[in-house]
Amino acid sequence: MSPTTIPGNLILKNEMVEADPFFNNVSLLLHGDGANGSTTIVDSSPSPKTVTVFGDAQISTAQSKFGGASLLFDGDGDRLDIANSEDFTFGTGDYTIEGWLYQSTFAVNTLVDLRGNGTAIGIYSSIGNERLAFVGIGITQASIAFTANEWTHWAVTREGSTIRLFVGGTLAGSAADNRNYTNTTCRIGHSTTGQVFNGYIDDLRITKGIARYASNFTPPTAPFPEVLG
């Protein structure tokens, strides 16, 4: 049987490739794959963006959820910056920000920081008494039990005027959110107020205009797809 070419330049040989019906809405997709120690971070979204590395942020094969590697931040000034983009300007629309983290040290750690023109979305994690907390700046805080030194899926969505926080596919909290997000810059692993991340991040995805989750769900069992379908 001859190989069949499908969107995304993937080749099928008697196997199924998972597709994403919202792939065209993906603003950022960082799989964190590559050689150990590499500082070349690839954005696999439909409109690839340049990812600028600061500090010792790098690809590491020491831990991974998928693909054999992930993004490593040592908590000492490491960060990834993505320049201004309309893809991060959500306005009053829906969005989903999600990924996987592996963390073992106690601290208030920034996963994602989106800011611009007086509005901000901040997603943080903190470990204490084996609990993980996520905070949307000025919106809500929620925590849920988790196990350190394991990969945990997290997601923040907005659907209409409701923001929801999920940990491991379980709804951890929700609140009203009617703000107009004019965010233009995206920073990973470090906030503009100095909070850093110490640990690993894998398969980070930002989707504009879509709330992918509105209730409890089963976390992904494979890397986020790069195929529209």
> Can you give the CATH number for the domain in which 138 is found?
2.60.120.200
pLDDT tens track for 172-181: 888 888 888 8
- 14-49: b or e for each residue (b if 16 or more CB lie within 10 Å)? eeeeeebeebebbbbbbbbbbeeeeeebebbbeeeb
Structural domain includes residue 11: no
Is residue 32, in this structure, part of any structural domain at all?
Answer: yes
- At 118 the pLDDT is 67
Q: Is residue 16 part of a domain?
A: no
Over the chain, what is the mean pLDDT?
A: 84
Q: Is the pLDDT of residue 54 over 70?
A: yes
Is the residue at 220 inside a domain?
Answer: no
Q: What is the average pLDDT across 30-45?
A: 98
pLDDT of 6 over the 60 cut: no
Q: Which DSSP state fits 46?
A: S
Does 87 map to a domain? Answer: yes
CA angle 118, 86, 112 (to 5 degrees): 60
Coil, strand or helix at 24: helix
Does a structural domain hold residue 44?
A: yes
pLDDT value, residue 10:
41
In a domain, 213, yes or no: no
Domain enclosing residue 78, as ranges: 21-208
Check whether 9 has a pLDDT greater than 50: no
Residue 194: CB atoms within 10 A of its CB come to: 8
Residue 131: is its pLDDT beyond 60?
A: no
CA–CA separation, 121 and 115 (whole Å):
7
Residue 180, pLDDT score: 87
Average of per-residue pLDDT across 119-136: 62
How far is the C-alpha of 160 from the C-alpha of 73, rounded, in Å?
Answer: 33
Q: Is 128's pLDDT higher than 70?
A: no
DSSP letter string, 176-199: E----B---EEEESB-TTS-B-EE
Sorting pLDDT into bands at 50, 70 and 90, what band is 229? confident
Closest to 98 (Cα-Cα) out of 165, 52, 53, 23: 165
In the predicted structure, residue 17 carries a pLDDT above the cut 70: no
According to the model, what pLDDT value does residue 130 have? 47
| Contact call for residues 189 and 169 (beta carbons, < 8 A) | no
Looking at the predicted structure, is the pLDDT value of residue 166 above 80?
yes
pTM of the entire predicted model: 0.88
Long-range contacts (CB closer than 8 Å, 24 or more residues apart) made by 169-177: 169/213, 169/216, 169/217, 169/218, 169/219, 170/144, 170/216, 171/215, 171/216, 172/134, 172/142, 172/143, 172/144, 173/140, 173/141, 173/142, 174/140, 175/136, 175/139, 175/140, 177/136, 177/139
Question: Residue 5 pLDDT more than 60?
Answer: no
pLDDT at 34 > cutoff 60: yes
The DSSP bridge partners found for residue 153 are 100
Taking only the tens place, the pLDDT of each residue in 96-126 is 999 999 987 766 678 888 887 667 777 777 6
Per-residue model confidence as pLDDT tens digits over 65-98: 999 999 999 988 899 999 889 999 999 999 999 9
Please report whether residue 4 resides in a domain.
no
How many Å apart are CA 196 and CA 120, to the nearest integer?
16
pLDDT tops 70 at residue 64: yes
Residues β-bridged to residue 74: 198
Q: How many domains does the chain have?
A: 1
